[in-house]
Amino acid sequence: MKRRIFLQATLATAGATLAGCDGETESTTGTTSTTTPRTLEDGSQYFPQSVASGDPKPDSVILWTRVEDAAAQGDLTVELEVGTNAEFSEMIALNGKSSMEVTAQAAFDHCVKVRLADITAGTVYYYRFIYEKGGKYYVSKVGRTKTAPSPETDTPIKFAYVSCQDYIGRYYNTLVKMAREPLDFFVHLGDYVYETTGDPTFQNTTGRKVEFSDQAGALELTAGSGEKYYAAKSLSNYRELYKIYRSDSAIQKVHESFPMIATWDDHEFSDDCHGAVASYFDGKKDETDVERRKAADQAWFEYMPVDYLGAPDFAYDASKDFPGDIKIWRDFQFGKNVHLVMTDLRTRRADHIIPEEAYPGTVVLDEDAVKALNGGEIPAIARPYVDINDAAYAAHKAVLEAAVMAGGGDKAKVTGNISVLYLNSVVTAAGSPAPIDEATQATLPRGVAYVDAGKLSLFTSIGARYFTVQPAFDLLATAAYQADAANQHVMGSEQETWFLNTMKSSAATWKVWGNEFCLIPLMIDLTTQAIPDQFKQKFYMNVDSWDGFRDRRSALISELSALKNVVAITGDIHASYTGVPSVNGDPTKRIVEFVGSSVSSGTFKSLLQSQVAADPVLSGIPGAGALAGAIDTLLMGGVNPHLAFADSGRNGYVVVDVSAAEFVTTYIRIAEKEVGTDHYADADSDLDALFKVETFKTVAGANDLYQKQDDGKFLKWNTDTQMFE
C-alpha cells in the first residue's frame, strides 16, 4: 500500500482546430493525421466500460476510459482524439498534434485519465480513444462533454442529480430516460456502487449478479437467514464493482452524453461507515480497516472521472495518516448563477452517538445531567434508575450479567447506574428476583439510558442508527456535543472551514450544496397509534444521516441561512423529499433542500418494510408492517412542518433548471416494481408513460419553497399550516 499512488491525469493542452481527413462517413471513422486516413473498427471489446468525462470547468475537463486486452501484458498505449463534432471532421490539436498517446498503466487497472486543458468555456466537445492491435485501429464509443460557462456569464444552467444505483437484480431505467435530457452536466451524490454481492436485508438475491473473482480477498458475511454473501475488501474486489456496474449500457450512455461531478457516500466503501470503520457486525467486533478503506478510495479515483482539487501534480501520499491522505471536497462555478460546492460526509465524520454495542440499561445522563440539559426540569423521557453495584441489588445484577453473557456480551457492562425499566424487563423474563415495584421507583432518581432511546438489545442498529426515540436521542446527542463538539463532526474541522468560507465568499446567485444525506429531519409520531405503550413515542427514522448530528446541523444552517439563495441537493435516503431544514427552535432561519430518490436501489418504504419483517422486536409489534407501508402519511404533517413533499416508494432522478431568478427542480419518478424490468429498448413515449413528474422551485432573495400546481401556478409552502398556499 505504501508504494501506491493514485492515478494521475495526463495533461492535454488544446490548441488550434484542425480539419479531419477524408474517410468513411460513419462517426466511428476519422484520422489522427492530416495526411494518413485510416479505417477505425468497433473497439467495444477493448473499451468495455466505454468512456466518461467529469469535473467540467470553464477551461478544462477530465476525460476517462479503460482499456482491456487479455492477450497483452503490462502497460498499454491508446490515442486520444478530440473534436468539435461527433464526426471528428474538425479536430482539436492536443499538445500541438492531431492526437496524443496516453499510457494505460497496469498498476491502475489500465484506467486512463486525461485533463483536457486550455479549452473554451461553455463549449461542447467530442472525444474518443483508439487502441492499435495487429495493424488495426479499434475505436471506443464517442463521448460528448461540455465545459462550464465562464464565471461572468449570465446564462441558464440545466443539470440533473442522482444517487444510489444498486446493480443487483435491478435495471437503470431512470438513467435511460435521463440520458435523453438536454443537460449541461449531472451530479452523482454517492452510492455509485454497492460493496456487497447480495445482502438479503436490502438487496435482491436474484437477477443480475455481482460475483468477485477474488473471493478469497473479500469479506464473507452471513445474513440472519444463514445465507452467505460477500463484501468487497481487496483492491481487486472494489475495481470489479466498477467494471461490472459500468458494463451496463444505460450507465454508459449517460457517461457518454454528459460530464459528471461526483462525491461518495457510504457504499463506495462500506454501509453506514464512518471513516475507515464498517458496521456489518453492529459492534460485536472492531471493524476498523484502513487498508480496506484505502483500497476502496483508490478504485473510486481510478474509475471516476474526477479531478484532484485542480492540482495537476497531485499524487497520493500514503505516508499521511488516514483520512489526511486524500480529500475530495471541491467546488465548481457555472456562470454567474451556479456555484456548486461538493462535500465529503463520510471519511471525517464521528461515530454514531449511540454505539451499536451499547448496553441498553446503561444510564448515560443522570438526574443532574438531565436537569442541566432541560432548564432544571426532569423531562418525561427520564426514568428511574438504580446503582446496580449497591449490595441491595446483587441478585438483580447477577441476572443482568447472565443475560448479557447469553447474548454474547461482556458482563462488565452491567455496572453503575442502570435503568429500572430495562432491569425489570430482564428479571421479569428470568422469573426472579422480583422487579422493582412502582412505590420504590417513585423514590429513585431519574435519568436517560440507552433503552430510553429505543436501544432494546446489544449489537443492533435499531435504537442506535435507526428508529431512535427522538426526545431521548436529542438529550444524548446534545450532551455529547456539549462535552466535545467533535462528537458531532460530519465534515471535520478542515473541510467545514473550507465549506463555510467557500459559501460565504461566493458571488454566485445560487450557492448549491452537493450534500450526501438528508438535512430535513425525518420523524414519525406513534403516540396515538394502536401499538404497545413501549412504542408510543416520537422516533427519528435514521440517525446515520444529519438527524444524528442535529446540533452541528443547526449551527451550519444558522450560518448558511444568513446567506442569500443557499440550496442543498441531496441523495442517500432512496426517497423524494423537499422542504426547509432550519435551526433548532427557529424555523425562520432555514435553507431549501431538494432530496432525490435512488436510481435503482430499494426505496425507503420497501426497505422499512423489509427491516420490520427481519427484526424480531419490530416484527412483533402489531401493525408495524402497515405503519412502514404508510411512511409518507406518518412523515407528512405534525412533527415535520419543515417537510413539504414526500414520496418514499418510487425511484428516480431530479432535473434542475437555474436562472438568475429561479431554482426549479423537476422530480422524475418511476414505480419501484419497474426497476426490476429492462425498459432500455422502450420508445420515448412508452418510457415516459412509466414516470410521474412533480415540480418545485425556490426564488432568488428568499428561502421559500414553491410547488407547481396542475394549472401551472406555483404555491408557497407554509410551515404553520403545513400546506402549499
What pLDDT does 36 receive? Answer: 56
Q: Are residues 430 and 293 in the same domain?
A: no
Q: Which string of DSSP letters, residue by residue, matches 44-82? A: TTT-TT-EEEEEEETTEEEEEEE---TT--S-EEEEEEE
Which positions of the chain have pLDDT values less than 70?
1-5, 21-36, 309-316, 318
Q: Which residues are CB-neighbours of 535 under 8 A, at least 6 positions away?
A: 526, 529, 621
Dihedral sign, CA of 47, 50, 55, 59? positive
Question: Does any domain span residue 296?
Answer: yes
As given in the structure block, the three cell numbers for residue 456 are 432494546
What pLDDT does 29 receive? Answer: 36
Question: Does any domain span residue 356?
Answer: no
Pick the closest to residue 83 from 106, 58, 116, 44 (CA basis): 116
Dihedral sign, CA of 401, 404, 406, 411? negative
As given in the structure block, the three cell numbers for residue 365 are 445522563
DSSP bridge partners of 52: 64
Q: Which domain holds residue 114?
A: 10-146
Question: With 0-12 CB in 10 A as exposed, 13-18 as middle and 19+ as buried, what is 635?
Answer: buried
**Measured between alpha carbons, how far is 454 from 470 in angstroms, rounded to an integer?**
9
Q: Are residues 549 and 680 in the same domain?
A: yes
What pLDDT does 6 receive? Answer: 78
Question: Does any domain span residue 55?
Answer: yes
Chain position carrying cell 471541491: 330
The number of domains in the chain is 3
Question: Does any domain span residue 670?
Answer: yes
**Is the omega angle on the peptide bond into residue 323 within 30 degrees of 0, that is, cis?**
yes
What pLDDT does 309 receive? Answer: 58
Domain boundary residue, one of 445, 466, 483: 483
Q: Are residues 530 and 656 in the same domain?
A: yes
Q: Are residues 325 and 467 in the same domain?
A: no
**Measured between alpha carbons, how far is 202 from 588 in angstroms, rounded to an integer?**
38
Contact 170, 679 (CB under 8 A): no
Question: Does any domain span residue 179?
Answer: yes
- Cα-based distances in Å from 213 to 128, 133, 166, 230, 232: 30, 27, 19, 11, 11
Question: Does any domain span residue 357?
Answer: no
Question: Does any domain span residue 142?
Answer: yes
Dihedral sign, CA of 610, 611, 614, 618? negative
Contact 17, 109 (CB under 8 A): no
Q: Which amino acid is at 326?
A: I
The C-alpha angle with vertex 73 and arms to 69 and 77, in degrees rounded to 5, equals 65
Which CATH number belongs to the domain containing residue 622 in this structure? 3.60.21.70
Contact 675, 204 (CB under 8 A): no
Helices 493-505 and 550-560: angle between axes, nearest 10 degrees: 20
CB atoms closer than 10 angstroms to residue 6? 20
Question: With 0-12 CB in 10 A as exposed, 13-18 as middle and 19+ as buried, what is 548?
Answer: buried
**Measured between alpha carbons, how far is 698 from 528 in angstroms, rounded to an integer?**
35
DSSP code for 411: G
DSSP code for 273: -
Domain boundary residue, one of 431, 462, 483: 483
Residue 118 phi, psi (nearest 5):
60, 40
Pick the closest to residue 460 from 602, 606, 346, 354 (CA basis): 354
- Cα-based distances in Å from 99 to 32, 237, 457, 580: 5, 34, 63, 50
Question: Does any domain span residue 704?
Answer: yes
Phi-psi region of 548 (alpha: psi -120 to 50; beta: other; left: phi over 0): alpha
Q: Are residues 215 and 108 in the same domain?
A: no
Domain boundary residue, one of 456, 483, 510: 483
The C-alpha angle with vertex 559 and arms to 558 and 562, in degrees rounded to 5, equals 90
What pTM value is reported for the model? 0.96
Q: Are residues 292 and 191 in the same domain?
A: yes
**Measured between alpha carbons, how far is 241 from 269 in angstroms, rounded to an integer?**
11
CA–centroid distance for 481 within its chain: 24
Question: With 0-12 CB in 10 A as exposed, 13-18 as middle and 19+ as buried, what is 196?
Answer: buried
The C-alpha angle with vertex 190 and arms to 185 and 191, in degrees rounded to 5, equals 125
As given in the structure block, the three cell numbers for residue 384 are 428511574
Q: Which residues are CB-neighbours of 180 under 8 A, at least 6 positions away?
A: 684
Biggest CA-to-CA distance, the chain: 99
Which CATH number belongs to the domain containing residue 115 in this structure? 2.60.40.380
Q: Are residues 313 and 383 in the same domain?
A: no
Q: Are residues 343 and 442 in the same domain?
A: no
Q: Are residues 55 and 16 in the same domain?
A: yes
Contact 203, 168 (CB under 8 A): yes
- Cα-based distances in Å from 641 to 528, 570, 638: 18, 19, 6
Pick the closest to residue 345 from 282, 275, 445 (CA basis): 275
As given in the structure block, the three cell numbers for residue 442 are 417513585
CA atoms within 13 Å, Cβ hemisphere of 60:
21
DSSP bridge partners of 320: none
**Measured between alpha carbons, how far is 667 from 267 in angstroms, rounded to an integer?**
24
- List the strands of the sheet with 576-579, edge to edge: 330-334, 338-342, 510-515, 566-570, 592-595, 576-579, 643-647
Q: Are residues 343 and 242 in the same domain?
A: yes
Q: Are residues 379 and 252 in the same domain?
A: no
Q: Are residues 202 and 339 in the same domain?
A: yes
Three-class SS of residue 180? coil
As given in the structure block, the three cell numbers for residue 691 are 414516470
Contact 705, 590 (CB under 8 A): no
Question: With 0-12 CB in 10 A as exposed, 13-18 as middle and 19+ as buried, what is 455?
Answer: buried
